[in-house]
Amino acid sequence: MATRGGRSLEIEAEALELREAELQRKAQYIPHVLYVEDDQISREVITLFLKGEFDIDLAVDSSEAILKIKKNTIPQNCEYFLNIS
């Protein structure tokens, strides 16, 4: 049974510090989105909607997107969305 002795309080303090560090890490994390769209107005609208919530990288076509991926200019945590219309 846990007591409120010195060691128990130390463990609780360490756990609290770990939780706080995790919350700070999550607060600093901004997902990255690669948005591929040939229509400039659509790119601008999406950028306005996603700004602040995502780190956005734009490509005009699939060739540009693939080039960015191959050159490693896109972060590893990038979310890829495919919209074929």
pLDDT tens figures, 2-31: 455 567 777 788 888 877 776 666 556 778
Nearest to 43 by CA among 22, 58, 28, 64: 58
- Inform me whether the pLDDT recorded for 1 exceeds 50: no
- Inform me whether the pLDDT recorded for 58 exceeds 70: yes
Average pLDDT estimate for 50-78 = 82
78-80 and 32-36 beta bridge pairing: parallel
Contacts of 73 (CB under 8 A, 6+ apart): 57
pTM: 0.56
Whether residue 41 is found in the same domain as residue 82? yes
Longest dimension (CA), the chain: 65
Residue 5 dihedral angles phi and psi, to the nearest 5°: -70, 180
Whether residue 51 is found in the same domain as residue 61? yes
Residue 53's domain is classified under what CATH number?
A: 3.40.50.2300
Whether residue 48 is found in the same domain as residue 82? yes
The count of domains in the chain is 2
Confidence of residue 44 (pLDDT cuts 50, 70, 90): very high
